[in-house]
Chains A and B, each alone.
Chain A
Amino acid sequence: MTPVSETAAPEPLDQNEDHRRPYGLLLVAVPVLLVVWLVIWPIISAIQRTVWQPTADRGYAFSLDTYAFFFSDRYSLDNLTVTLWTTGMCAFLLLLICLPIALYLRFSTGKLPAYVQSLAIFPMFVPSIILAYAFIRVLGPNGMVDILLNSVGLPKIRTPYLTPWGPVIGLVWDNIPLTVLILLAGLGNVSNQSIEAARDVGARWGQVLWHIILPRIGNSILVALSFSVLGIFSSFTLPYVLGPAAPEMMGPFMQRTFREVNDPQMAITQAVITFGFCIVFGLFYVRSVAKNQGT
């Protein structure tokens, strides 16, 4: 973090650090080994187990059978499609909702923006299971919205509960805080001077947004998107509780294949396929965080 002070540190201190070298490794060993055992190894093992499968004569051979099955099975493909649709729709709605909020928060001060910001961050402190329950009570059949519509003589809504829109609404609600925070951090890099300069030469707000602001927060938008895609693609709780039974999103699908159908091999195949669809976002996410931490 502070290369200057480190290089300028007096000699004895440096030797002291050298002397401690093995202790540092020792202190970080347990969590690092845990990551290796429970993150890296399962991923390698999952890939290896799905392409190197047992054969009839008790041997092992290279085979892509489970993948071939997945991509030829109507039901699996439907599940993949609904997952892709949900993820895309959530990402789109999140940007549509959060970018204006973040812009407003960046360019205003006072009590009202502070209130808006705390509201936008609030869902972070509502566990998704409570959110799911609140969703059903408000938007479900005979929920609060129906009650209110009925009281003013309007017909009931077609409830999104148990339709593909159910998980979309829940997931967007759940992901607003992080998206707003990430976009807001990105907007912190847009200097007021550059905007003033553009305004001085007569640029309208739309032009300022398009030519000055958006190019500078492009990276933050991508980070926010990667983060929500990684979270939403294999989300479990909200699609399980709020979504339709079929087609279902990859999260509930994997869970059912693993526990109820009792076919771990197929469940791992589905997991590796989700890894494949998210790998770009995962790599981008790691790269941005690493660049930002800048050790």
Chain B
Amino acid sequence: MAAATDTQNLVAPPARVDFVGIGYAVVLSILIIFPLLVVGTWAFTDVWRYPNVVPQQFGLRFWNQTLTRADVWSALWLSLQLSTVVTLLSAAICLPAAYAFARMKFPGRNVLFFSFLAGHAFPKFGLLVAIAAIFLQLNLIGTFWGVVLIQLVGTLLFMIWIPVAAFQSVDRRMEEAARDVGASPLRVFWSITLPQAGPTIAAAILLSFVGTFYETEGAWLIGAPGIRTMPVLMITFINNQIVVQYGAVLSVLLWVPSFIALLFARRVIGGGAFARGFGA
């Protein structure tokens, strides 16, 4: 990434108009933003019959109808419960482990560290089917805790690797200086380590909450029919095509947590660090 000015001189002399860039900006805007705008428009539409280009009547009628459906509320409540339980459990078991990986020496450290990749080295749904076969024997199919377990496994890699990087980037000298003036290890952790690693860890926790909230495949395979999370309900709405607007309203509602994640996770995802986590 060195010498940004060099590249500018190399490729785009200041006077030239960046036609390639304009082309990409326009095409990507159409392909990526436009479909979402259509969904957003449907959510605030009361009547929109083919072939009108704009809806005949805008309104909030279907927000009211969607939000008074009992299945929507129970799915939302269940999804929030699941995401909270999974994220808390994941933080409780992963953060201490991340600290150990970043700071302690123990036998087998490297092998164990990379063992978390195992879950990502296999096609995901195949792995879910293999897990489901085991859950079948344990009577965990269709139960809350079955879904918690399967979603918990999905969070492990992020919840360990991102915090490990965060702990490793904390300046050891500051910690040692604090120890030298007589602070206890716990005090050092609380006052020096945590504030520096905190924001990245918070981003990891948020990512895992949002990721769990949208997790569809495990919930569908393990949870059905007893456990109907928000994305699972959304699939049934789409398949049954009852009322177009239900899906649109749910999409807009569902997108809110994702948007919050987008704002918070920019620091984690920006730069090459994130891509490098995927082996680039």
Contact = CB atoms under 8 A, between A and B. Distances in A.
- Say whether A and B bind each other: yes
A49 B261 contact: no
A199 B131 contact: no
Contact of A42 (B20, B131, B276): B131
Contact of A138 (B38, B52, B259): B38
A39 B221 contact: no
Interface in A92-142: 101, 104, 106-110, 112-113, 115-116, 119-138, 142
Q: Is the interface of A mostly helix, strand, loop or mixed?
A: helix
B279 A275 contact: no
A273 to B, nearest CB: 8
B238 A133 contact: yes
A223 to B, nearest CB: 5
Interface in B116-135: 116-127, 129-134
Interface in A1-35: 1, 5, 17-18, 20-25, 27-28, 30-32, 34-35
Interface residues of A, number: 118
B6 to A, nearest CB: 5
A274 B93 CA distance: 31
Interface string B155-184: 010001000000010001000000000000
B32 A123 contact: yes
Interface in A23-78: 23-25, 27-28, 30-32, 34-36, 38-43, 45-46, 49
Given A32-B115, A137-B39, A233-B123, A108 B21 contact: yes
B50 interface: yes
B20 A104 contact: yes
B47 interface: no
B33 interface: yes
A185 B94 CA distance: 27
B186 interface: no
Nearest to A284: B279
The contact size tier of chain B is 35 or more
A173 interface: yes
Interface in B1-54: 1-4, 6-8, 10-12, 18, 20-22, 24-25, 28-29, 31-36, 38-39, 42, 50-53
Interface in A180-210: 181-186, 188, 192, 195-196, 199
Given A108-B11, A120-B28, A129-B254, 11 more contacts: A27-B99, A27-B104, A31-B156, A35-B115, A110-B21, A133-B238, A138-B35, A150-B51, A236-B216, A275-B123, A285-B117
* Among A151, A183, A255, residue most surrounded by chain B Cβ atoms (within 10 Å): A255
B131 A20 contact: no
A86 interface: no
A158 interface: no
Interface in B193-223: 214, 216-217, 220-221
